[in-house]
Amino acid sequence: MAVVPVQACQSHPPGLWDGLLELTKSAQERNSDPPLWAVQLSSSLKSAGVSMPSPELAHLLVSHICWANNVAIMWKFLEKAVSCRIAPPMLVLALLSCRVIPNRRLYPSAYRLYMELLKRHIFAFASEINGSNHQKIMKSIDDVLHLSQIFGLQVCEPGTLVVEFIFSTVWQFLDASLDDEGLLELIPEKKSKWPTRSQDMDIDGQDSFNEKRTDHQEGKCKTNTVMAIELIGEILQNKITSKILYLARRNMFSHWGSFIQRFRVLAANSTALRSSKHISPDALLQLTSDTRIVLTRECKTYLQKHFHAVVASGSLTSSAGQCHGVSWSALWLPIDIFLEDAMDGSQVVATSAVETLTGLVKALQAVNGTSWHNTFLGLWIAALRLVQRERDPSEGPVPRLDTCLCMLLSITPLAIVNIIEEEESILIDEAGLSPPNQRKEKQMSVNRRKDLISSLQLLGDYEGLLTVPQSHTLTANQAAAKSMMFVSGLTSGSGYLDCMSMNDLPINCSGNLRHLIVEACIARNLLDTSAYFWPGYVNGRSNQLPRSVPGPMSGWSSLMKGSLLTPPMINVLVSTPASSLAEIEKIYEIAVNGSDDEKLSAAAILCGASLVRGWNIQEHTVFFITKLLSPPVPADYSGTDSHLIGYAPFLNVLLVGISNVDCIQIYSLHGLVPQLAGALMPICEVFGSCAPKVSWTLTTGEEISSHLVFSNAFNLLLRLWRFNHPPLEHMMADVPPVGSILTPEYLLLVRNCQLSTSGNTAMDSFKYRRPSRFSSPSSTEPIIMDSFPKLKLWYRQHQACIASTLSGLVHGTPVHQVVDAILHMMFRKINRSGQPLTPTASGSSNSSSSGHEDASLRLKLPAWDILEAIPFVLDAALTACAHGRVSPRELATGLKDIADFLPASMATIASYFSAEVTRGIWKPAFMNGTDWPSPAANLSMVEQQIKRILAETGVDVPSLAAVGSSPATLPLPLAALVSLTITYKLDRTTERLLTVVGPALNTLAAGCPWPCMPIIASLWAQKVKRWADYIIFSASRTVFHHKSDAVVQLLKRCFAVTLGLNSSPVCSNGVGALLGHGFGSHYSGGMSPVAPGILYLRVHRDVRDVMFMTEVVLSLLMQSVRDIASCGLPKEKLEKLKKTKYGMRYGQVSLAAAMTRVKLAASLSASIVWVSGGSSLVQSLIKETLPSWFISVHESEQGVETGEMAAMLGGYALAYFAILCGTFAWGVDLMSPESKRGPKVLGAHLEFLANALDGKISLGCDWCTWRAYVPAFVTLLVGCTPAWIPEVDVQVLKRMSKGLRQWNEEELAIALLGLGGIKTMGAAAELIIETG
């Protein structure tokens, strides 16, 4: 008896379904014609008011067939009811799947007929989701198959159920086929998710039997299994169902993994699959592979398709003199810019360059659409170019060659570790879910590692970039010798390399930077020693190497053999970097557990060559040093003072060892600045609170006090944020700084976040393959500024001094007494009576021997107490100088006495004077050579050098002729500060002080009126000739502070030289033209012109109104696109060229070449915005600047032909610009901490686009630009950053999809919805079905 749902009996006339059943039985007995039966059935349903297709009829017919009437005529009736849409196809198929598939062995003919019916109707769903009964039908399907229960999704849209239905149908066939061949036992669950076998045997069935199955029936079953597998292949290949299954893959991944496992088992073991003539195991796996992205692959070729349309619509005319070729390496221009920007030592960063570089490389690989081989090659070339630009560096308080080599040989390999491990971790996770025989196949598909190897093999062809800087030739030669020894069968662990000199090397054994790169990769398990056998890698011969090592072992090899730390060995270890993790761990153990002298030696070794040049283990070295700066409390410690006091000599060695400019920048690159700050603050707090009553004598005989330890730690701490910037930067309320200015609070916040991440270790963030035994931090407890009351008090005073003039010094207070004592110490040589230097001072300001002794005794105070008094001392001293009571020379000498007594005071001196200059209340000081030092001796030389440096920028340098006719002047506080700095002779000790005050002096002078900085440069160049190039270059940068349009002109030049838009017949473009090859007087003819890109990267941090940069860059980008479209020629020349009879001989520019230059322009623009203001500026660009630009009206200067071309290319350029900015700021996978803002910004931009597409916003830009931008932007969004889309509001995505469909961009609309997550899956499926 056929079963009809109860609700059907209640909602339709009594006896309707019984009558229809009788009609069907009668037609069956008469073997009636199916069309005639269908007409009669349809007529009866209409008469009864039943809407069609009828779910009740589907239940009736399927129940009638299964299994009492499993005859051919009934299957024909059923097919006709489905094809005529009397019964809903999806519901019929759902009902049959529950009945037929479990009984397929009993009814093989029915199984075959069911599959035939499925073939005809599974690919057409339009009537199902748009029909009058669609909600009722969908609910019936869900009730039959229990899809919501199985997949855990609430069916709220018809499209969602369609996805579940298709997914479940394929899965049922898959499990049934596995069951037919006894393969279900090979899957982890051991059973099917769906019923594959009947619970009872229907012995009355037409295909059933009581005895053994006949060979004919068995053959039918085998044929059906093959047919089912082939049907699976057809569903996977079909345009509609393959896209629907891709939606299931993206949004139902917890089920998809189990689904794919079954495919792999089937492909590996199925006899039926191998016997198929229509599909092979490999083809079936390919249809389900990760590389078959059916929704986005159409988008990959979108831009190319539209470019061909552009070619047909117009041409690009060029002159023979124009340069249109852009080198392949220009694709990676953003990497070059990032690497060069990271070399600027004016500000350290709290985030790791490894993570930033990883995200940048992944972004460029996605947007450029290149292979990982080319991506890795581009990365290596960019890093090598950085080193070559610094191969002959100029001296100065800035990071130099060692930092560049750190970027090449440590940061870059670690970024590649991240990229490769990302792929391999996914493969390992999948392999863990795969059967054992599939895991080997997974291991063989590690593509990124193979691409790394091939890129390094090809890198050997770039000989010009591989030249080793002279100072590191021996290191490269040792690396080459190591490979030669390995190939020759010798071992390098014998100590031979430790004691090798240039004279010991074979004649032909010359190493290059590739040898060092390979060693860095081997050390991090990116490569193995098989790299030594690459063709051409070893350039020497085995018979050139000695078979034995003469003399005793020395250095690291001896240490690992157990030798003691003798003075000669210590010298070797300090000057020779460790080559392995085991070696540096050995030294760390000595630093922790050795004797006091051994600890000091180990600290010196760690801060020696292993820190600066130990690239293979550098990430561990910086971590170990940071950890040692926070020594634990000894188990037997019982003192009342901090346990850190007992570590004073040890901590001082570490503090001095890492105070080098390159060391701080190396810390910054490795992202350990926050943890270094967290280690320094307790040291500052403890030693700054101690009176210098106790001193320690080092093994060198040097005596140190608590003041010295405090000063070394304090000055180091201050260098970790921009303490020296003038108050104007902090007081500009109308234009807040975009980039985050590091503060102590911020550093501690980042430090606490780093240590609270997975594993609670600093090194877990890199997922190292070779973790150290000592990789856990000293403490994972969060720390805040309140933990350091003395430091917090000083910081508040520091901020108060910046914000307003001094006040609050009360006579007779302890602070006043300290002020008086310091003033006596400063001016003890003044032997005259007069007014006291402090307004409330008690007695004479004249000093005597007894007075000096009394002052010294009174200054045996904690450093914090002295620092609290310093601003008041400076105020009094500066006032006395202004009123003639103290001469300029005496002021400079007194200031030096303060700095010598407490070096930590140098920062306060610089900060106070900077604040006073900006207040503008001090009279100028005349730099006449009598009262103050005179710059006249070489001021004209400085002017000429500045003009030469800026020669290529087109920026005018203000003349210094007026200065030469009268004495130069500086604001009094600035004159005092520069006079103080030039009293020092440059040596290792004073360099630590100058690296603190130097940036402050630069920043201060740059903000003062012209020509303050050239005057200071002249004074400094006289005093420290070794730093002359750096000082004059710094002076040249200040030109951009005093000319409002100079930065814009500089950026124009950057675009022109990068894109080859020069007016000269022979052009140079790309990275080399933008960033040049370094600067300095070591070039022939004196200082060479500095490349515009280098100038901008050294200037942009001081641009106060950085928000305007987005508008400037956007304007320059669009102008560059117009120039590219017109080949860089002025309008008059272009028109004249077209009219000449020889005009066409100049040819037509390849559109591919034009698009390459457009992408390069967009890449340069995005790089400038990103490095100038980070994610905040990118957010401003996408949320505000771009929408404003599209709304505004822009005048076109081109003719119709080039105007349309430029407009269209402009749309593509803007799309690349926006996507590149977003990927640089937030990454392609939204994994960075800053990426949380990305989806909100993207959602706002997409909402703007949707409003414009809906006609809610009027646009002012060229329609061609808008028409090109929107599809191009969505294409790049879908193809390059699919992880962004699910975070966007569902309604915004649906509106965007609707707008794209109005432009006939159905594929883009589908892809956008398809990537929107589970909430848009239904809408995406409906659109797929609708568009077919």
CA distances from 414 to 768, 796, 1125 (A): 9, 39, 41
The SS3 call for residue 968 is strand
Q: Which residue has the tokens 């390069």?
A: 1160
* Residue 181 pLDDT greater than 60, yes or no: yes
What is the reported pLDDT for 764? 44
Under the banding of pLDDT at 50, 70 and 90, the label for residue 1217 is very high
Tokens representing residue 815 in the block: 């602070």
Q: Which of 483, 398, 438 is nearest to 1097 (CA)?
A: 398
Distance of alpha carbon 793 from alpha carbon 867, whole angstroms: 11
What is the reported pLDDT for 386? 93
**Strand locations in 687-827, DSSP E?**
695-697, 703-705
> Bigger pLDDT: 504 or 370?
370
The SS3 call for residue 1299 is helix
Distance of alpha carbon 1189 from alpha carbon 1180, whole angstroms: 13
Distance of alpha carbon 870 from alpha carbon 883, whole angstroms: 20
Under the banding of pLDDT at 50, 70 and 90, the label for residue 640 is confident
Under the banding of pLDDT at 50, 70 and 90, the label for residue 1265 is very high
Instruction: Point out the least confidently predicted range of 100-114, 319-333, 905-919, 1049-1063.
Output: 319-333
Mean pLDDT of 523-546: 80
* Residue 291 pLDDT greater than 80, yes or no: no
What is the reported pLDDT for 570? 92
Tokens representing residue 145 in the block: 């198959």
What is the reported pLDDT for 155? 65
Instruction: Point out the least confidently predicted range of 476-480, 632-636, 1272-1276, 1288-1292.
Output: 632-636
What is the reported pLDDT for 701? 78
CA distances from 411 to 302, 392, 668, 1196 (A): 36, 21, 11, 46
Distance of alpha carbon 1234 from alpha carbon 1099, whole angstroms: 25
Sign, Cα dihedral of 1208, 1209, 1213, 1216: positive
Instruction: Point out the least confidently predicted range of 296-310, 400-414, 520-534, 1019-1033.
Output: 296-310
Q: Which of 419, 415, 412, 418 is nearest to 514 (CA)?
A: 412
Instruction: Point out the least confidently predicted range of 34-38, 905-909, 1076-1080, 1286-1290.
Output: 1076-1080
Tokens representing residue 733 in the block: 């309320």
* Residue 420 pLDDT greater than 60, yes or no: yes
- Per-residue pLDDT tens over the stretch 380-395: 999 999 999 887 777 7
Tell me the DSSP string of 556-575. HHHHHTT----HHHHHHHHH
Q: Which of 90, 87, 86, 97 is nearest to 163 (CA)?
A: 90
What is the reported pLDDT for 167? 94
Tell me the DSSP string of 979-1048. HHHTTS--SHHHHHHHHHHHHHHHHHHHHSPTTHHHHHHHHHHHH-GGGHHHHHHHHHHTHHHH-TTHHH
What is the reported pLDDT for 210? 38
Mean pLDDT of 930-941: 87
What is the reported pLDDT for 779? 75
Instruction: Point out the least confidently predicted range of 788-797, 891-900, 1025-1034, 1311-1320.
Output: 1025-1034
Residue 77, C-beta contacts closer than 8 angstroms, at least 6 positions apart: 24, 27, 28, 34, 37, 38, 61
Distance of alpha carbon 1250 from alpha carbon 1243, whole angstroms: 10
What is the reported pLDDT for 1252? 94
Scanning 1126-1194, the segments in alpha helix (DSSP H) are 1131-1139, 1151-1180, 1186-1191
**Are 1219 and 367 a contacting pair, CB within 8 Å?**
yes
Q: Which of 1194, 1170, 1163, 1329 is nearest to 1260 (CA)?
A: 1194
* Residue 1253 pLDDT greater than 60, yes or no: yes
Distance of alpha carbon 1061 from alpha carbon 1067, whole angstroms: 8
What is the reported pLDDT for 847? 37
Mean pLDDT of 583-610: 94
**Backbone dihedral angles phi then psi of residue 703, each to the nearest 5 degrees:** -105, 130
Total residue length of the chain: 1332
What is the reported pLDDT for 431? 56
Instruction: Point out the least confidently predicted range of 795-804, 921-930, 1160-1169.
Output: 795-804
Distance of alpha carbon 758 from alpha carbon 756, whole angstroms: 7
pTM of the full predicted structure? 0.88
Q: What is the DSSP letter of 409?
A: I
Mean pLDDT of 683-687: 96
Distance of alpha carbon 105 from alpha carbon 101, whole angstroms: 8
What is the reported pLDDT for 849? 40
CA distances from 693 to 820, 850, 861 (A): 21, 21, 9
CB atoms within 10 A of CB 808: 9
Mean pLDDT of 1293-1317: 91
What is the reported pLDDT for 1079? 59
**Are 558 and 499 a contacting pair, CB within 8 Å?**
no
The SS3 call for residue 969 is strand
Tokens representing residue 84 in the block: 């005529």
- Per-residue pLDDT tens over the stretch 300-354: 555 555 544 444 444 343 333 334 445 677 889 999 999 999 988 777 787 889 9
Region for 739 from its dihedrals, namely left if φ exceeds 0, alpha if ψ lies in -120 to 50, beta otherwise: beta
Instruction: Point out the least confidently predicted range of 364-368, 603-607, 716-720, 1081-1085.
Output: 1081-1085
- Per-residue pLDDT tens over the stretch 2-50: 555 544 445 566 688 899 999 999 999 999 999 999 999 999 999 988 8
**Backbone dihedral angles phi then psi of residue 971, each to the nearest 5 degrees:** -55, 140
* Residue 1202 pLDDT greater than 60, yes or no: no
Distance of alpha carbon 856 from alpha carbon 821, whole angstroms: 7
Mean pLDDT of 1010-1026: 85
Sign, Cα dihedral of 834, 837, 842, 846: negative
The SS3 call for residue 971 is strand
Radius of gyration from C-alpha coordinates of the chain: 39
* Residue 619 pLDDT greater than 70, yes or no: yes
**Are 107 and 207 a contacting pair, CB within 8 Å?**
yes
Distance of alpha carbon 1293 from alpha carbon 1316, whole angstroms: 7
What is the reported pLDDT for 727? 41
* Residue 835 pLDDT greater than 70, yes or no: no
* Residue 974 pLDDT greater than 90, yes or no: yes
How confident is the prediction for the chain on average, in pLDDT? 82
CA dihedral of residues 406, 407, 408, 412 (deg, nearest 10)? 120
Q: Report which listed range, 145-149, 551-555, 1137-1141, is most confident.
A: 145-149
Q: Which residue has the tokens 């609670």?
A: 760
Tell me the DSSP string of 1049-1118. HHHHHHHHHHHT--SSSS---SHHHHHBTB-STTSTTSSPPPPHHHHHHHHGGG-S-TTHHHHHHHHHHH
Scanning 238-322, the segments in alpha helix (DSSP H) are 239-251, 253-269, 271-275, 281-287, 297-300, 302-313
The SS3 call for residue 926 is strand
**Are 1058 and 1110 a contacting pair, CB within 8 Å?**
no
* Residue 481 pLDDT greater than 90, yes or no: no
Question: Above pLDDT 70, what percent of the chain?
Answer: 81
- Per-residue pLDDT tens over the stretch 694-715: 888 877 778 899 999 999 999 9
What is the reported pLDDT for 363? 94
Q: Which residue has the tokens 């942009």?
A: 1100
